[in-house]
Amino acid sequence: MEALRNHTTVMLSEAVEALFSVGGVAFNGAAEATYVDATFGRGGHSRSILSRLDDSGRLIAFDRDPEAVAEAANITDPRFSIRHEGFSQLGELPAASIGGLLMDLGVSSPQIDSPQRGFSFRFDGPLDMRMDTTRGESVAQWLETAEINQIAEVIRDYGEERFAGPIAKAIVARRQERGPISSTAELAQLVADTVKTREQGQNPATRTFQAFRIFINAELEELQQALAASLDVLQAGGRLAVISFHSLEDRIVKQFIAKHSKEEYDRRNPFAAPKDMKLKALGRLKPSDEEVAANPRSRSAILRVAQRMPA
């Protein structure tokens, strides 16, 4: 494991190894290929990938967070470059140009642990939650005008919260009585006052905070766009490795790999030859017991790996 500025990289060795070798079978030309770290974060995965490349290998990183981009400036390796944009822009890369693609989804420890970013109910700070603080609308700004049904839909769909309706009503009532919510502490307390039944060991605001973060950053839409683009940019034999941290993300990844890991038949033309499968599923991994003990935030992580088949 690698600690970088209070950030411990989740499934570091497993994810990077999956890009280069699975079950002892190495990707042909792995060290000379171009790779993508779709979520640079604090660079744990990127640094490990670079250590596996030869002089002709390349690594392209993506990240929306200006702080992550600033951290990336500390890497002076000429084989490395970073793009200050979301990985939904993956499709801008040339077709069949990538030997391996790693996506480490969700929010990073530095983002969670910074009160100013507004991701966590553990600290009082502005209710922001934007991955990219240079653009877009914060959660507080959205809640100033959002209707009850909009808020409830977001909390229900992205947080899988059964009390989405009452929480949405409480947010709007609070806005009408005393003005909009502007801090994480205010939101956390309002949810705690509204949700009377709590899951053991979980703060009642957990699902609501997750929902607002996913929504304001369009995280699921970005994931879907990037997965679709991966089929174009990965070269034959190239690896796709995705680490997810909650069921909504993992379901999208699981279904995407499953869909493209089987032959496609045209129901309108049953006698036509089926289209070849585009991916081969290579497995699913969870963090080791030792990693979870050392870094409890890794406990929900799931790594799924697939290989691009020849077109």
- The predicted pLDDT at position 270 comes to 64
Residue-level pLDDT at 196: 78
Give the per-residue pLDDT at 6.
Answer: 53
The answer to whether 304 touches 298, Cβ cutoff 8 Å, is no
| Burial class, 101, CB count within 10 angstroms (exposed 0-12 / middle 13-18 / buried 19+) | buried
- Residue 311, pLDDT score: 75
Spans of all domains in the chain:
3-109+219-308, 133-216
- pLDDT < 50 stretches in the chain: 1-5
How many CB atoms sit inside 10 A of residue 213's CB?
Answer: 25
Asked, colleague to colleague, whether 3-109+219-308 and 133-216 share their fold, the answer is no
Of the candidates 9, 4, 136, the residue with the CA atom closest to the CA atom of residue 66:
136
Q: Give the per-residue pLDDT at 139.
A: 97
Query: Does an H or E element contain 98, and which?
Result: strand 98-104
pLDDT at residue 5, as a whole number = 45
What pLDDT score does 236 carry?
A: 93
pLDDT at 53: 93
Report the alpha-carbon angle 168-169-175, nearest 5.
95
pLDDT at position 1 is 36
Side-chain half-sphere exposure of 59, counting CA atoms within 13 A: 28
- Could you tell me the fold of the domain covering 133-216? DNA polymerase; domain 1 (1.10.150)
Say what the pLDDT of residue 263 is. Answer: 65
Q: In CATH, what is the architecture of 3-109+219-308? A: 3-Layer(aba) Sandwich (3.40)
